[in-house]
Homo-oligomer: A and B are copies of this chain.
Amino acid sequence: MKNPFDNLDKSLEHRVRLQIMSVLVTNEAYDFNSLKELIGVTDGNLASHMKALEKEKYISITKSFADRKPNTKYKATERGRTSFRKHLEALEDILKQQKK
């Protein structure tokens, strides 16, 4: 096995972004405020992490008005799902390596 540490994804090494992707991969979609509450970060901070993930094309954004309020929904893209899975696989390999 190649060195699994080399397969870690830089964008997903940060705890907050890992958690965001974790939520978006298991949920069809998730909105800004729910994500903010779940993760416990400020709105500005969340927005900037979302921007980083968007830049990587790991997520897509849909803006609308729901209940007459602005509502932003995020989804994981296929690319995002693949990268997330690979990152988890690298983590799994690290775990396996440890148990030997």
Interface size class on chain A is 10 to 19
**20 contacts across the A-B interface (CB closer than 8 A):** A5-B19, A5-B22, A8-B15, A13-B14, A13-B15, A18-B94, A22-B94, A22-B97, A22-B98, A25-B98, A26-B97, A26-B100, A88-B94, A88-B95, A88-B98, A91-B91, A91-B94, A91-B95, A92-B95, A95-B95
Residues of A contacting B: mostly: helix
A7-51: which residues lie under 8 A (CB-CB) from chain B?
A: 8, 13-15, 18-19, 22, 25-26
Chain B residues closer than 8 Å to A95, beta-carbon distance: 88, 91-92, 95
> Within the complex, what minimum Cβ distance (angstroms) separates A16 from chain B?
9
